[in-house]
Structure 1
Amino acid sequence: MLENRVGLVVGVANAQSIAAGCAAAFAREGAGIIVTHMNERARPHVAPVAEAVGAVDLLPLDLSVPEQQRAVFDAIAARWGRLDFLLHSVAFCPRADLHGRVVDCSAEGFAQAMDISCHSFLRLARAAEPLMRDGGSLLTVSYYGAEKVVDHYNIMGPVKAALEAVTRNVAVELGPRGIRANVLSPGPIATRAASGIDGFDGLMAEARSRAPERRLVTIDEVGAVAAFLASDRAAGVTGTTTHIDGGRHVRM
């Protein structure tokens, strides 16, 4: 589905991360992949993923550092002159604000969570737009907590709701250029990021018991949907949140 396509994958933390599952699916479908790592401390965990998927580049990208983002897109422009799809799979919230009540969230914590988890997607979309001259696909990652109050997900619920809302706006604004924007909404998966959520084991158990298929989804299953949405086979799909949760979202 993605032969001769070039994609940027942002958010690989290690081999168990959702972005890693997506990168593997993109590669299986024939795409050339650029993978980023946040810093040198993260690089040893990301490099094996990049090698496994045959990434053509592994570049540093701390989304709070504008110069690094410019360097990534300059490198893509210099090597290929285009970008066909982009995956943003990034979320962060200071621990104290993540574990506290929404009403107690600090202004600083709220701003940081929104900047890294939501506004960074807009920054990447803006940088990708001129490289998607023949159209393209922008993907980001949310969670059911954007739609309903999920215990212990706390401030990340409103932050992910904002991410889904801005994605719909991106879809409308960039649609005339043939650029689609969609949200992946996986069920709970045991990733490093998820380990920071209180009671996550209970959340996984609840999702397993409530899902029609009585199971959790895998990063490979998320990746398969991501690859489809990145491809021309999903040419008619934009501004949409796609649940990959074994049907958990259909039940109260």
Structure 2
Amino acid sequence: MTDTNPTEAFFRDLETKVKGPTGALEGKKALVIGIANDQSIAYGCALAFRALGASVAMTYLNEKSKPYTQALANHLAVDPALYLPCDVRIPGQLEAVFAALEKNWGQLDIALHSIAFAPRDDLHGRVTDCSRDGFLMAMDVSCHSFIRMAKLAEPLMKEGGSLFTMSYYGAEKVVDRYNLMGPVKAALEAAARYLAAELGAKGIRVHPISPGPIRTRAATGIDRFDELMEIAATRAPSRMLVSIEDVGMATAFLASDYAKLITGETIHIDGGYHVVG
């Protein structure tokens, strides 16, 4: 029987790609920056990219952190030439990562930025009291490095691609104890919208991903983070906390060609908390 319904054919094709031996990201090349350990949101995304067929390159912060990520790189089948150090505060390291991508792949389809930092005193104090140096460092590491990543990715995304960065609800509303990271993440989300507008004609999509609270190494630096998790679990319409796998699969979908006309959106993966928070 001939299939005359294009909608049914579309979803049948989607189901085959997701469940079959190949995936919706088959043949695509993905860079993931910000994996610290197996609880990292970036690792959940890398797992999803790999599961749906993409090849993955990844970075580690420094030699001290490398033992915590080497096994993860092995699990993701990362080419040793594309498992590279990247501290965005060190001049030339981010550029070296993209030079390696150009040499080994010659193209890039997906780039995920999952790094943020603020000095402890500035993060735990009032925004009113934050130091100039602390503010500038937080903005440089957490926001401007994403803009730098986009600039470096642009010439490698010859057939279009997807850029992702990690945000949080505290960018939109005041969240108790999120402090300095609120304004910083708000700047990051605004930057992503401008990048989406500027790069859209080249088929490059840009999204800030806004997960609910997840116990990652970075999140533990936020004062009384357990309370944020408890509030989210209690108030979210789903009454559930999200996992790195939830964030990963949603991000992988956005990286696929099925989401080619979605760009510039802050994607909330938080069980609906943002609609009631």
Which residue number in structure 1 is paired with residue 237 of structure 2? Answer: 212
Written as runs of structure 1 = structure 2, the 5 A alignment for 1:66-105 is: 66-105=91-130
Q: Is 1:38 matched up with 2:61?
A: yes
- Provide Cα deviations, 1:71-110, integer angstroms capped at 9, x if missing partner: 1111110111100110000100000000000000000000
Greater RCO, CA 8 A, separation 6+:
1
Which residue number in structure 2 is paired with residue 5 of structure 1? Answer: 28
How far the C-alpha of 1:34 sits from its partner, in A, is 0.3
1:199 & 1:244 partners in 2: Cα distance? 22
1:29 & 1:242 partners in 2: Cα distance? 20
How far the C-alpha of 1:231 sits from its partner, in A, is 1.1
2:258 & 2:216 partners in 1: Cα distance? 29
1:55 & 1:79 partners in 2: Cα distance? 12
Aligned partner of 1:48 among 71, 74, 82: 71
Which residue number in structure 1 is paired with residue 41 of structure 2? Answer: 18
**RMSD, matched Cα:** 0.7
Helix, strand or coil at the partner of 2:92: helix
Deviates more, 1:68-77 or 1:220-229: 68-77
Amino acid at match of 1:62: D
* TM-score, with length taken from structure 1: 0.99
Aligned partner of 1:223 among 241, 248, 261: 248
Amino acid at match of 2:67: P
Which residue number in structure 1 is paired with residue 226 of structure 2? Answer: 201
Amino acid at match of 1:26: F
- Provide Cα deviations, 1:96-127, integer angstroms capped at 9, x if missing partner: 00000000000000000000000000000000
1:70 & 1:201 partners in 2: Cα distance? 37
Amino acid at match of 1:228: F
1:100 & 1:209 partners in 2: Cα distance? 26
How far the C-alpha of 1:228 sits from its partner, in A, is 0.7
Q: Is 1:138 matched up with 2:163?
A: yes
How far the C-alpha of 1:55 sits from its partner, in A, is 1.8
Helix, strand or coil at the partner of 1:66: coil
Amino acid at match of 1:222: V
How far the C-alpha of 1:192 sits from its partner, in A, is 0.4
2:97 & 2:205 partners in 1: Cα distance? 21
Amino acid at match of 1:23: A
Helix, strand or coil at the partner of 1:113: helix
* TM-score, with length taken from structure 2: 0.90
1:241 & 1:55 partners in 2: Cα distance? 29
Helix, strand or coil at the partner of 2:112: strand
1:143 & 1:52 partners in 2: Cα distance? 28
1:91 & 1:179 partners in 2: Cα distance? 23
Unpaired stretches in structure 1, ≥5 consecutive residues: none
2:90 & 2:122 partners in 1: Cα distance? 22
Displaced runs of 4 or more, over 4 A: none
1:79 & 1:192 partners in 2: Cα distance? 31
Unpaired stretches in structure 2, ≥5 consecutive residues: 1-23
Aligned length: 252
How far the C-alpha of 1:68 sits from its partner, in A, is 1.2
Identity of aligned residues (%): 58
Larger Rg computed on CA atoms: 2
Which residue number in structure 1 is paired with residue 140 of structure 2? Answer: 115
How far the C-alpha of 1:66 sits from its partner, in A, is 2.8
